[in-house]
Chain A
Amino acid sequence: AQSVAQPEDQVNVAEGNPLTVKCTYSVSGNPYLFWYVQYPNRGLQFLLKYITGDNLVKGSYGFEAEFNKSQTSFHLKKPSALVSDSALYFCAVRDRQAGTALIFGKGTTLSVSS
């Protein structure tokens, strides 16, 4: 069965510092991996995805994520956090062979202080 774990409910960073939001996954086959962001009172917005190829994926708003197959991880990163990055972040996975539903993690709240 597919699953996604986001081990931190909340991540706190100071503006200008690098940030990491962790995600690990479990699928029986090869994964498609996604990060979405949810701002207050808004729907989810797509940030980036890993399909194949380069393990470092760059996405919107300066975010990037690194696919690590051996550690089954897909951590979201940004070199320099902004206060406006404060939001709820979701990691999601789909088994590409099984073509099953997109499974979401529980979400991590990122809080960036000025």
Chain B
Amino acid sequence: EAQVTQNPRYLITVTGKKLTVTCSQNMNHEYMSWYRQDPGLGLRQIYYSMNVEVTDKGDVPEGYKVSRKEKRNFPLILESPSPNQTSLYFCASRPPGQSLREQYFGPGTRLTVT
């Protein structure tokens, strides 16, 4: 089944404790992206990757890192999480080379930072 998977689905952590949210897609998509969803703000893009070893900042990159060492994986790293990063996070991927194509979203990761 073609899908985008994220792990963990739920995470409660404390301020300053490094964490990684994994994202994997099995559709051979070149483009992958991370969003955060907050009430009243919709989805905002954190980082995106056009291909392996090619990443770029989205609208809200502060406090986040990403890497793209393999086409299928695009982990989101919070080196020192803070309470304002409490949010619902979505990974997405898109077929190659065409911005007119729709994105495929993972199920989401609900992160709480205390």
Interface residues on A, range: 20 to 34
In Å, the complex CA distance between A49 and B105 comes to 16
Least distance between B97 CB and chain A CB atoms (Å): 10
Which residues of B are found within 8 Å of A32, using beta-carbon distances? Answer: 99-100
Least distance between A5 CB and chain B CB atoms (Å): 10
Number of A-B pairs, beta carbon distance below 8 Å: 50
Least distance between B76 CB and chain A CB atoms (Å): 15
Interface residues on B, range: 20 to 34
- Minimum CB distance partner of B90 in chain A: A43
Do A106 and B42 touch (CB < 8 A)? yes
Chain A contact surface mostly? loop
Please tell me which one of the listed residues B58, B100, B107 contacts residue A43 in the complex, with CB atoms under 8 A apart: B107
Please tell me which one of the listed residues B4, B41, B42, B48 contacts residue A101 in the complex, with CB atoms under 8 A apart: B48
Which residues of A are found within 8 Å of B100, using beta-carbon distances? Answer: 32, 49, 51, 96
The residue among A32, A44, A101, A106 with the most chain B CB atoms within 10 A of its own CB is A44
Could you list 15 further interchain pairs (A-B, Cβ under 8 angstroms) beyond the known A101-B33, A101-B48, A101-B58? A9-B40, A42-B108, A43-B90, A43-B105, A43-B107, A44-B90, A44-B92, A44-B103, A49-B100, A51-B100, A101-B45, A102-B45, A105-B42, A106-B40, A106-B42
